[in-house]
Structure 1
Amino acid sequence: MDTYADLIECEDVLLFANAAITSTGQREFHSAAGQQRLSLGFLHRYIHGNYPDLYAATLALDINDHNAAIVIATLLTHPGQGDGRLIARRLARMSPPRVYRLFQRLRHDGVNNRRTRALVRDWLAGRPDLAFDAVKYRAAVKSAVRHAHLRLPGELGDFLFAPSSRARYETPVLEAWRRAHYDKAALYELPYTVAEGFAARHGISRKVFLDRIAPKLTRLERLRLAESAGKDGLDTEADLAAMPLVRLASYVLALPAETRARRRAELVGALRSAAARVAGARAGTWGSVAAVLDDSFSSFGSPVKRRRPLAVALACHYLLEALAGSYRGLWLSGRTDPLQARPSGPTPLGQRVLDALGGRPDMLVIVSDGWDNAPPGLAGEVLRVWRRKLDPGGEVGIVHVNPVYDADQFDVRRLSPMVPTAGIRDAEDLPALVELARFAEGRTGLAELRAYLADRAAQLEAR
């Protein structure tokens, strides 16, 4: 049986998991970037200082890359802490720019123990095309090589540290970089971000450059360029359904309303295809599901995370539609067309929760930042009465997922202690978060949480 200390430990770790999933230290609707960073930094120090083994194990959860990098840097600063294999697996899941920034931070902080050098060496050795990295992230690769005391044989080492020492390179991407200094045609063999600088140096017009570089664009680059490229008459339509679900939702929400209406079939088809891909074998297995989806004004997020909370809600809408046997989505604004969602109005969560529970679904999922204000506190009271009086047996599963970290509370904002709340950043994590939320209900304890973390670590290692 869990002791009181065990319950506190379990609660603290779940609190940290919520923060590490949602917060990126950037400005949110209700808090500035400085507040976010200060609050998040305190949580990292507190959990690491009190529960170092569980702190390390959170790398197996779906915490975002920003917090994963902080956890890894903290563990490497303290020799002997953390599982090296889990750290390596988490590094492998992170984007290359994020990993290179982590290596630069370790160099800046003077963290250069044997384990750190081995991790840097092994990660670089595992890159599918280190020459490509050397061109695209030249300064970062150079910094990592120096920090790990590595010697790169042959022309790759020459390219990083003495690029003018060779008259030509055998590796195509390195030779293209050399020729691009004087040959305009060669720059189109380079990654877009590198070629863009050479195009500006050679005075190539934006339209001509985008026309010719289009085959080299990645899916994400195509999405980022879609609006600006359209102004230049360039068609950069990507395979939208292959995009991550929340990123695709953000792209859709950034389009003007008339564009969304004109491209309805294409956009809805892409969102549903992406959701079906995420749902996989779980499609249609969740029974009857109702969702309360927050499109209030605060779902705008902030200038640096524009419409991010609304994008999470839109992505969850299509994913829940795919997971459910029968589905009903209720937007706070009363809109019935999710494709035309936009941040507006107050947050009447209580009324919408009542509407959703009226149909007694098997599960109710609430996607909101938790700022219930029309009237304040109604949602919490509705959930309290429902759980204590109308459904004490918990026949209707209720989960609140919150995409916004509340810096003042060191957690995501909760609607009611009667309902578990989990932080969410990517809709792909929703099934795992619903599973994790059971720990917040108090029905399972520290031993089960440790077993869950160990199981997630084993799954990560098996990938």
Structure 2
Amino acid sequence: MELVADRTAAEDVLLFVNAAIASTGQREFHSDADAQQWSMEFLHEYMLVNYRDLYAATLTLGVNDRNAAAIIMRLLQSGRDASPEQRAVEGRLIAKALTELPTHRVYHLFTALRKARVNNRRTRAIMREWLAARPDPAFEAVKYRSAFLGAIRHAHMKVEDLPSEELEAFLFGWHAAGRFDTPQFETWRRAHFDRRAVFELPYTVAEGFAAKHRITRAEFLEKIAPQLTRGERLRLQRSAARFGAIGIAADVAGLSRMPLTRLAAYVLALPVEEREQRRLELTDALRAAARRVAGLRAGTWGRVAAVLDDSYSASGSSEKRRRPLVVALAAHFLLRELASAYHPLWLSGDADPIMARARGVTALGERILDGLEERPDLLVVVSDGWDNAPVGMAAEVLRVWEERLDSERKTAVAHLNPVFDAAGLQVRRLSPTTPTVGIRDAEDLPELVEFARFATGRTGIAELRAHIDSRVERWLTEETPCTA
């Protein structure tokens, strides 16, 4: 009975980690946003109540930004339920996690804390330390003006404690302040009456002023181009082309510097004709991005076969367009670099990943069998797990393989699932004994394949806790001290 309880606890933690990696609370192909959000709310609350210390530690396990912010929110809301020792560790984990989150996500979290009236001493201390460490508070005061001001007030922070002159005048009395010496503040002030200043502001701030000055979309896109980040430039290319804004052109050299998964999303969003025309450029960029992720691990994984899901369900949803296919494409290029010998198997049978598109049934069983026939060192399956042609064939293939053909486990199998199944409260498994882990970004693939060894159903909570404790120790090695 104790052994069963031990494994159940480990499965609970793994279930949450997988869900927190894969789910963003948005609509998926097989479930709507409400179901996704309700299921994740339940899992967050269940983990917080039953495994609080492990719940906090999951911040170190690659959970996505949305769920990392949700974990921080719940820990700060429920501080009175934690012991002093737990609060000390949580404070360090939260401080470190905030430095890992995108800036806009942190301000969104601070706004949520303010609206929920979470204003305990620990929350204020954590907010103050994060704000005081910002490298360019003047820029953030302009770009996130209302959220920045709300965070300062909620943290009971004095503006003069921040390393930026004129900040108080900018936030509380810019009408009476006259000209500013701080360039960002002066540009923002001039943008209220001088349309030329609009094009010197960050894109998201400039959009509001463009509407105020009735600047046409074509003119705005053409003149704001120098202020765009690489991600904004790529995201706006097709819109700019429609309006004839030639200033926003493809940055060929910049493509290879893009994160691998984001680059894969960009490629799959292009029309088929454009992908065909730019095949060499796009392929080279994806390979360069994959080599950067692989690093010193390049070529060290031995013989690898990959079953990559490009069935119709890989088209995702209106909120997560092509996301499962994006992850599969990015994983394909990364595995190609990690393996010494690599054999990709797309469900559609296509051999050209650049032209990948979601179509057809999810016939995983046949493709898994093809991959196993070569007896690779590692078989990776990237799929949402909805095996339906025929239903259950993948599970049966894997069962027979493990029980009769590879009882010595010479071939490792890992299933990476980019989709959270809200109805099942987990990422959908291919078989009970095949390790399945959630995946959000292909960059995390090497660590997730290693983590998959805990998802076989045979791991106890002690072994899992030891692994998580070691991750926490490594993660906090270079932390910024937090007194909260």
TM-score normalised by L of structure 1:
0.97
CA shift, 1:114, in A, is 0.8
Partner-residue secondary structure (3-state), 1:327: strand
CA shift, 1:2, in A, is 7.5
1:101 paired to 2:108: yes
CA shift, 1:207, in A, is 3.0
Q: Which residue does the alignment assign to 1:237?
A: 250
Q: Which residue does the alignment assign to 1:130?
A: 137
Could you give the per-residue CA deviations for residues 379-424 of structure 1, whole angstroms, max 9, x where no partner exists? 0000000000000111000000000000111100000012100000
Moved more, 155-164 or 138-147: 155-164
Q: Distance in 2 between matches of 1:270 and 1:94?
A: 26
1:197-208 superposed matches below 5 A: 197-208=208-219
Moved more, 28-37 or 238-247: 238-247
Counterpart amino acid of 1:101?
H
Moved more, 209-218 or 139-148: 209-218
Moved more, 5-14 or 192-201: 192-201
Q: CA RMSD in A?
A: 1.4
Q: Which residue does the alignment assign to 1:254?
A: 269
Q: Distance in 2 between matches of 1:454 and 1:87?
A: 16
CA shift, 1:452, in A, is 1.6
Q: Which residue does the alignment assign to 1:300?
A: 315
TM-score normalised by L of structure 2:
0.93
Contact 1:403 1:424 in 2 (8 A): yes
Q: Distance in 2 between matches of 1:107 and 1:265?
A: 50
Q: Distance in 2 between matches of 1:210 and 1:233?
A: 6
CA shift, 1:193, in A, is 1.1
Moved more, 321-330 or 226-235: 226-235
Partner-residue secondary structure (3-state), 2:342: strand
Counterpart amino acid of 2:55?
Y
Q: Which residue, out of 173, 185, 188, partners 2:196?
A: 185
1:388 paired to 2:406: no
Q: Distance in 2 between matches of 1:431 and 1:85?
A: 26
Q: Which residue, out of 323, 346, 349, partners 1:334?
A: 349
Q: Distance in 1 between matches of 2:2 and 2:300?
A: 33
Moved more, 157-166 or 381-390: 157-166
Q: Which residue does the alignment assign to 1:433?
A: 448
Contact 1:151 1:157 in 2 (8 A): no
Moved more, 181-190 or 271-280: 181-190
Could you give the per-residue CA deviations for residues 406-457 of structure 1, whole angstroms, max 9, x where no partner exists? 0111100000012100000000111111111111124543222222212222
Q: Which residue does the alignment assign to 1:61?
A: 61
Q: Which residue does the alignment assign to 2:117?
A: 110
Could you give the per-residue CA deviations for residues 201-247 of structure 1, whole angstroms, max 9, x where no partner exists? 22333333323221211011011101111222424323111212111
1:377 paired to 2:384: no
Could you give the per-residue CA deviations for residues 48-107 of structure 1, whole angstroms, max 9, x where no partner exists? 111111111101110001111111011111224452111111111111111111111111
Counterpart amino acid of 2:256?
A
Partner-residue secondary structure (3-state), 2:407: coil
Q: Which residue does the alignment assign to 1:52?
A: 52
1:210 paired to 2:225: no
Q: Distance in 2 between matches of 1:423 and 1:288?
A: 23
Q: Distance in 2 between matches of 1:137 and 1:236?
A: 27
Q: Which residue does the alignment assign to 1:119?
A: 126
1:268 paired to 2:275: no
Counterpart amino acid of 1:74?
R
Partner-residue secondary structure (3-state), 2:211: helix
CA shift, 1:46, in A, is 0.8
Q: Distance in 2 between matches of 1:442 and 1:346?
A: 29
Q: Distance in 2 between matches of 1:209 and 1:391?
A: 62
Contact 1:289 1:328 in 2 (8 A): yes
Q: Distance in 2 between matches of 1:119 and 1:167?
A: 34
Q: Distance in 1 between matches of 2:215 and 2:32?
A: 40
Q: Which residue, out of 163, 183, 186, partners 1:172?
A: 183
Q: Which residue does the alignment assign to 1:462?
A: 477
Counterpart amino acid of 2:222?
D
Partner-residue secondary structure (3-state), 2:199: helix
Contact 2:222 2:245 in 1 (8 A): no
Q: Distance in 1 between matches of 2:427 and 2:76?
A: 28
Moved more, 330-339 or 152-161: 152-161
Q: Which residue does the alignment assign to 1:10?
A: 10
Q: Which residue does the alignment assign to 2:482?
A: none
Query: Which runs of 5 or more structure 1 residues have no equivalent in the other structure?
Result: none
Contact 2:219 2:245 in 1 (8 A): no
Query: Which runs of 5 or more structure 2 residues have no equivalent in the other structure?
Result: 479-484
Contact 1:2 1:445 in 2 (8 A): no
Contact 1:214 1:236 in 2 (8 A): no
Could you give the per-residue CA deviations for residues 159-211 of structure 1, whole angstroms, max 9, x where no partner exists? 12222120011111011100111222222221111122222322333333323
Counterpart amino acid of 1:441?
T
Q: Distance in 1 between matches of 2:30 and 2:457?
A: 29
Q: Distance in 1 between matches of 2:250 and 2:132?
A: 34
Q: Distance in 2 between matches of 1:222 and 1:104?
A: 28
Q: Distance in 1 between matches of 2:427 and 2:264?
A: 22
1:348-363 superposed matches below 5 A: 348-363=363-378
Q: Which residue does the alignment assign to 1:452?
A: 467
Q: Distance in 1 between matches of 2:460 and 2:51?
A: 16
Q: Distance in 2 between matches of 1:138 and 1:433?
A: 38
1:224 paired to 2:235: yes
Q: Distance in 2 between matches of 1:190 and 1:184?
A: 11
Partner-residue secondary structure (3-state), 2:159: coil
Contact 1:357 1:364 in 2 (8 A): yes
Partner-residue secondary structure (3-state), 2:256: helix
CA shift, 1:3, in A, is 3.2
Q: Distance in 1 between matches of 2:472 and 2:172?
A: 38
What is the total number of aligned residue pairs between the two structures? Answer: 463
Q: Distance in 1 between matches of 2:460 and 2:445?
A: 21
Q: Distance in 1 between matches of 2:200 and 2:2?
A: 61
Partner-residue secondary structure (3-state), 2:266: helix
Partner-residue secondary structure (3-state), 2:476: helix
Q: Which residue does the alignment assign to 1:422?
A: 437
Q: Distance in 2 between matches of 1:68 and 1:287?
A: 34
